[in-house]
Amino acid sequence: MHNMAMALHNMGYQVSGSDDEVFEPALSRLQNKGLLPDKFGWDENQITPDIDFIILGMHARADNPELLKAKELGLNIYSFPEYVFEHSKNKTRIVVGGSHGKTSTTAMIMHVLMQQGINFDYLVGSQLEGFETMVKLSNAPIIVIEGDEYLTSALDLKPKFHWYKPHTAILTGIAWDHINVFPTFEFYEEQFKIFINSIEPSGTLIYCEEDADLRQLCESSFQGQSDLRIAKPYRVPQHSIINGTTIIHLNGTNYPLQVFGNHNLLNLQAAMMACETIGISETNFWQSVGSFKGAAKRLEKVFETEALKIFRDFAHSPSKLKATVKAAIKQFDGIKLIGVFELHTFSSLNAAFLKEYKNSMQGLDCAIVYFNNHVFEIKKMQMLSPEFVGEQFENVEIINDKAQLIQKIKDELRSKSVLLLMSSGNFDGLDIKDII
């Protein structure tokens, strides 16, 4: 939401906003633009008839006093994705959906478009190198959108990506997530079917055929269709790993990459096919993407010496965790591999869902699962015992004390190693300096 505020400010709009709390980095970034509210909290007196429109974030509840006042005054109220679509009605819309890899794939497309000098708008879920904000709105003819399946707002409980009506859609895979919102896999899968059906009549669906559930869903969705939509499957492109560098092979030419792992290679292939739909050749794509270093916290290298490499990764669902672990095992064959996973999301802290993580850290030389008991209190969830968590994962060490975690990592780093820190959180404020 703060990125949307900055994007509208950059377009020349007079922007104001409210929230009960604002944290870093949003606080400083809003302050630098002169957009930080004078005070935190909700005040219905800030909602006046001269406001052209309001954009409603997911954080605001249905009984929010400012929202109620806006409805009473009959003001135009948009949800975040609804406004993005409203702004992009006349643009070519590329939308990246899927349970995993959305941010990385969107970032790859953005990087190539920037390298090719193409003017475009965007919405992406991570701060990227070379881009001031996570949202850009302008008069550009193209918009690249990360299509999140999470809910739109308190007034609109459908997934955000149902709003975007893509001309080119990517689906990276389907792996059950957000169980607090989608209680069954079938219900979760149905949201992706609706997304497929929302593609513009002459649009293109690019999907990962290595995901059996996704392949079946896409093939069934396109059977007997009467419009001109096209479905294009993709797989891992031809490549090799030489001295720790992944290299793409195309028509006798080698293109070295700065990212690695099959999941990144799949994302790159999807991004390449999406770029082709707007006129970028395969050769130009691979030439341009070679300088892409990855999105923040997506197998992001945060420390490196000859003896140690440390990566942070946003892995939190079972499928993301498995993909990250497999990528590291393949890339760093013969090097000690330590993986630390933090239970932090609603799903990962749910006793019934935890069994989905079984064997997700298999193959690591040292596998650690960390959680802080305080997180259960914050999320008002039933506390889990270390013994129960360990039984669900198998062959992992369970730690729920930060000091103990730091000491354990230090003990394991006494030989040449690669350390993976995998979480949607921050390990209770763990600093890399604490462990090196």
HSE (side-chain half, CA atoms, 13 Å) at 214: 26
295 in any annotated domain: no
- Average pLDDT of the residues of the chain: 92
Looking at residue 375, its pLDDT comes to: 85
Does 20 lie in the same domain as 92?
no
Burial class (CB in 10 A: 0-12, 13-18, 19+), 224: exposed
Residues contacting 129, CB < 8 A, separation 6+: 293
**Per-residue pLDDT tens digits for 306-360:** 899 999 998 888 888 998 999 899 888 889 999 999 998 888 889 989 999 999 9
**pTM for the full model?**
0.81
Q: Average pLDDT in the 70-74 region?
A: 97
Does 335 lie in the same domain as 269?
no
pLDDT band at 226 (very low <50, low <70, confident <90, very high): low
Helices (H), 184-227: 185-197, 212-222
Does 219 lie in the same domain as 329?
no
Residues contacting 34, CB < 8 A, separation 6+: none
Does 122 lie in the same domain as 60?
no
Looking at residue 360, its pLDDT comes to: 94
CA-angle at 355, arms to 349 and 358, nearest 5°: 115
Q: Residue 151 in contact with residue 159, Cβ under 8 Å?
A: yes
The two tokens of residue 381 are: 């969830």
**Cα separation of 409 and 412, whole Å?**
5
Does 214 lie in the same domain as 137?
yes
267 in any annotated domain: yes
177 pLDDT exceeds 80? no
80 in any annotated domain: no
Looking at residue 391, its pLDDT comes to: 93
Range of the structural domain that residue 269 is part of = 88-289
The total number of structural domains in the chain stands at: 3
**Per-residue pLDDT tens digits for 23-35:** 888 999 999 999 9
pLDDT band at 403 (very low <50, low <70, confident <90, very high): very high
Helices (H), 11-101: 26-32, 65-73, 80-88
